[in-house]
Amino acid sequence: MNPFPNGMVWIFQGQAYQPLGTREYVGRSGEAVTLIDWTSDCAECGNEFPVSTTLRFEYPNRRCDDCKKPRVRVRRRASKVKP
């Protein structure tokens, strides 16, 4: 079940994330945490990939598994200015 409104999009540093739904996760400590499953387009290749975050949504993955580069920031593209 998806508790989010249809068409909801979260923009993080210029990259769009669409929620797919939520699920419960039990960590090693036994504490239950709610995870949100998202889908986004890879900042490198543009392919769609899944992302899971907690409710805080701090620093989600911006690249797919094929393009991942640990500890390397995604470079922002210059925005196109229309005259």
Can you tell me the distance from the alpha carbon of 20 to that of 50, in angstroms, rounded to the nearest whole number?
9
- For position 1, what pLDDT does the model report? 56
Tens digit of pLDDT at every position of the chain (83 positions):
567 778 889 888 888 999 998 999 998 999 999 999 999 999 888 899 999 988 887 788 889 989 888 777 777 654 445 55
Considering Cα of 46, then 73, then 56, then 34, what sign does the dihedral take?
positive
- For position 6, what pLDDT does the model report? 80
Q: Find out whether 41 and 48 touch, Cβ atoms under 8 Å.
A: yes
- pTM (two decimals): 0.75
- For position 37, what pLDDT does the model report? 92
